[in-house]
Amino acid sequence: MIELESITKTYLLGKENVNVLNNISLKIEQGEFVAIMGPSGSGKSTLMNMIGCLDKPTSGNYTLSGENVSHYSENELARVRNQSIGFVFQQFHLLPRLSALKNVELPMIYAGVSKVERQLRAEEALNKVGLSDRMDHLPNALSGGQKQRVAIARAIVNKPKIILADEPTGALDSKTSTAIMEQFRELNGEEGVTVIVVTHESEVAAYANRTIFVRDGMIQLPSASNRGASE
Amino acid sequence: MSFMENLLMALSSLKAHKMRSILTMLGIIIGVGAVIIVVAIGQGGEAMLKTQITGPGNTVELLYQPSDEEIRANPNIFLQAPFKQEDIRALEQIPEIKSIVASSTQMSSVRFQQETADVSSTGINQAYVKLNEMKVEKGRSFSTSDFLGGRRVGLVSHVIQEELFKGKNPVGEVITVANQPIEIIGVLEKPTGLLSFSSMEVYLPFQTWRTIYGSSDFTQVTLQADTSDQLESAGKKAARLLNNMHNTEDSYQVLNMEEIAAGIGQITRIMTLIIGSIAGISLFVGGIGVMNIMLVSVTERTREIGIRMALGATRGQVLTQFLIESMTLTLIGGILGIFLGWGTASIVSFFAGWPSLISWQVVLGGVVFSMVIGVVFGLLPANKASKLDPIESLRYE
Ligand SMILES: Nc1ncnc2c1ncn2[C@@H]1O[C@H](COP(=O)(O)OP(=O)(O)O)[C@@H](O)[C@H]1O
Ligand SMILES: [Mg+2]
């Protein structure tokens, strides 16, 4: 479902080319729960952005659901992000002036969903993450865990095939982290959504059925990629 | 994403920064307001000046402008009234002329009991009363028999009542005009309008005036026709006739009303242009203010833009969002400006006795123009927003 072939991302720093992602090849099947680990600055976020179609590779091919998206136009990539990907960030990234409900409605606005249906589906998504009693709250009035639940509701509201979470528990205490990870496990188990989580914590990585280690922009061996394929 | 959706989004983000939005609008409010004021008062003033010059009744005044030769031949030519009784009788034969308004004026000493004053004394024919809409506030106006019988009666201006009669009602009193007794039958209303001034005036039936001053000539003749076309040909015929009768080349002329009206139109147009361009400059400055604030807003909301892009907003949708936001800002400013201009123009015209014309075209123009300003000056910030890199924007603190 997700297939990266020799993906390279190069930034020009001064006169030097820096390979942030170096010849990465990777396959993730529909319904997998994958953790990506690695030291800070190793390229995890860049890899996530690549998978999430926020970034374009310098070279290599990216095939998503059988479509080579490497050469998609920006508008096509925006549509892919809107329809197929749900992002969850460490900093939550909720719009501060919008209520929880309105935040969850946002992706549907760009999908052209009618107002009435938007509200229904946003309520449904907030229900699923257990926030039916906080719909009209502004993000400031919510705890960190609640904010992240709103973000998860927003990520799933367009029924994407993939959820990408970049250190989703990085700003949360361990008890809240567990609850958030349970949420991901539920989505992965019940709905078959592919979940990819970047994390530093092995407790978080333990929720995944496969862990990919990244170092210096490369997938590190011995990696678990063979293990995932053999299972 | 619908326009309505964008509009609601724009309104809520403008509401989030109320003070800033209002201050930004101020430039547009004042600019549009100034344009509305200028256009309203300019158009009102032009309309008023035109009716004051041409008058409501399709009239044209005959002028006597002797040539240099005639003046050399007769240095006292200006002391003589230029229109004779036989001139008037000849003019009456011109079919296009509906009526001839003739009058003669001299300065005279007027006395009431111990008080005397220098007054302009005008002998008028009956057509004069009608054309000049002489309305009396006290007493009565002239009757036909006053004119035919040459009765020794007169109308006085309001100022005479104030000055000569110390405010007392002069109707029924007898004054002397050039040492001849005249009974006052009425007091004229105070003149209104911008170009009217109240002065000491007494009006007499021409027959009466003629016996007092011993002259049957007229100093002023005005022709009236039914239509402006008839008036034009009547004026030409009259001038030719009089020049023939007096054996002059071009001394008798008609004042060309159209030309004067066009001249006034020109003046008000130039005025409108000058003040309009000042208003235009202030709108331009207001537009730059909008651009400035929108640029600040884009920078402040970098993260919001990144989030929206991550959630699937295309660059075009981000561009549209910010364009509609700046357009909403200037549109609201424009609408407030229209009300400001309308109100101010109404107040000005109330105190100046000058009509102000607010046409729907001007209002529509104000609305459209302020929207255009929003789009034009919103283009740069909106473009900047749409060109942001989503990844960097998400990282923006
Ligand atoms: N726009 C950029 N220009 C230059 N270098 C960048 C840019 N974005 C990321 N990098 C570099 O790429 C490396 C990987 O970054 P990142 O993917 O954020 O790492 P991680 O998420 O694993 O901490 C870092 O060294 C970072 O400095
Ligand atoms: Mg990172």
How confident is the model over B315-347, as pLDDT tens digits?
A: 999 999 999 999 999 999 999 999 999 999 888
Nearest to B5 among A79, A95, A109 (CB): A109
CA of A34 to the centre of ligand 1 (A): 21
Residue A217 CA: nearest ligand 1 atom is: 14
For residue A203, give how far its alpha carbon lies from the nearest alpha carbon of chain B (Å).
26
Query: Best of A11, A89, A90 to mutate for ligand 1, by most ligand atoms within 8 A of CB?
Result: A11
> How confident is the model over B231-282, as pLDDT tens digits?
778 888 888 999 998 888 888 888 765 666 677 777 777 877 887 787 788 8
What pLDDT shows up at residue A226? Answer: 45
ipTM of the predicted structure? 0.94
Burial string for B32-48 (b: 16+ CB within 10 Å, else e) reads bbbbbbbbbbbbbbbbb
The alpha carbon torsion through B194, B197, B203, B209 (nearest 10 deg) reads -120
With CB atoms and an 8 Å threshold, state whether A55 touches B391: yes
pLDDT band of B349, cuts 50, 70, 90: confident
Report, as an integer, the average pLDDT of B212-234: 84
Count up the domains in chain A and report the number.
Answer: 1
Report which protein residue has its CA nearest ligand 1's atom 16: A43
- Whether residue A13 is contained in a domain is answered as yes
The per-residue pLDDT for range B127-161, each reduced to its tens digit, is 888 888 788 899 999 999 999 988 999 999 988 99
Q: Please tell me if the CB atom of residue A41 comes closer than 6 angstroms to any atom of ligand 1.
A: yes
Please state the atom number of ligand 1 nearest to the C-alpha of residue A39: 22
Q: Answer whether residue A229 shows pLDDT above 90.
A: no
Give the chain B residue nearest A93 (alpha carbons). B307
Decide: A17 in ligand 1 pocket, CB within 6 A: no
Mean pLDDT score across all residues of chain A: 93
The first and second tokens of residue B164, run together, are 């000569």
pLDDT for A21 beyond 90 = yes
Query: Are A54 and B13 a contacting pair at CB < 8 A?
Result: no
Better-predicted residue by pLDDT, A30 or B198 = A30
d(CA B387, CA B298): 11
In a domain, A71, yes or no: yes
Q: What residue spans define the domains of chain B? A: 3-52+262-395, 66-250
Q: Report the 10 Å Cβ neighbour count for B255.
A: 14
Question: Would you state the pLDDT for residue A146?
Answer: 97
Hey, is A187 helix, strand or coil? helix
| Cβ atoms A54, B310 nearer than 8 A | yes
**B349 backbone dihedrals φ, ψ, rounded to 5°:** -70, -30
Q: How high is the pLDDT of residue B62?
A: 85
> Rounded to the nearest 5°, which phi and psi values hold at B60?
-140, 140
Q: What's the pLDDT score for residue B280?
A: 82
Q: Does A9 touch chain B (CB under 8 A)?
A: no
Of A168-172, B15-19, B253-257, B367-371, minimum mean pLDDT range: B253-257
Q: Is residue A114 included in any domain, yes or no?
A: no
Residue of A13, A17, A4, A120 whose CA lies nearest to A64: A4
List CB contacts (< 8 A) between A83 and chain B: 312
Q: How many whole angstroms from A82 Cα to the centroid of ligand 1? A: 24
A107 touches chain B (CB under 8 A): yes
Given this model, what pLDDT does residue B260 score?
Answer: 65
Residue A153 lies in a domain: no
The pocket of ion ligand 2, defined by CB under 5 A, consists of A 45
Nearest CA in chain B to A82: B312
Spatial separation of the C-alpha atoms in residues B123 and B152, rounded to whole Å: 12
Q: What's the pLDDT score for residue B40?
A: 82
Is residue A136 situated within a structural domain?
no
Residue B194 above 60 pLDDT? no
- From A74, A87, A95, residue closest to B315, measured CB to CB: A74
B13 touching A (Cβ < 8 Å): yes
Are B1 and A110 in contact (CB < 8 Å)? yes
In 10 A of CB B208, how many CB atoms?
23
pLDDT score of A231: 39
Facing A97 at nearest CB: one of B12, B306, B317: B12
Q: How far is the alpha carbon of B311 from chain A, nearest alpha carbon, in Å? A: 5
Position A119 in a domain: no
**CATH of residue A89:** 3.40.50.300
% of residues, chain A, pLDDT over 70: 95
CA of A217 to the centre of ligand 1 (A): 9
Q: Which residue has the tokens 């981000």?
A: B318
Cβ of A194 closer than 6 Å to ligand 1, yes or no, is no
CB contact under 8 A, A78 and B314: yes
Residue window 111-150, chain A: list those with CB within 8 Å of chain B.
111-112, 115
Mean pLDDT of chain B: 87
The distance of A75 to chain B (nearest Cα, Å) reads: 6
User: At residue B283, does pLDDT exceed 80?
Assistant: yes
User: Which B residues, 303 through 362, put their C-beta within 8 Å of a C-beta on chain A?
Assistant: 303-304, 306-317
Q: For A29-38, what is the mean pLDDT?
A: 96
pTM listed for this prediction: 0.71
3-state secondary structure of A114: coil
pLDDT of the residue at B196: 57
Query: Using an 8 Å Cβ cutoff, are B70 and B186 in contact?
Result: no
The residue with greater pLDDT, B259 or A65, is A65
Give the least confident one: A9-13, A34-38, A181-185, B81-85. B81-85
Burial A71-99 (b: 16+ CB within 10 A, else e): ebeeeebbbbbbebbbbbbbbbbbbebbb
Q: How confident is the model at residue B98 (pLDDT cuts 50, 70, 90)?
A: confident
Among the partner-chain residues A78, A94, A95, the one whose CB lies closest to the CB of B312 is: A78
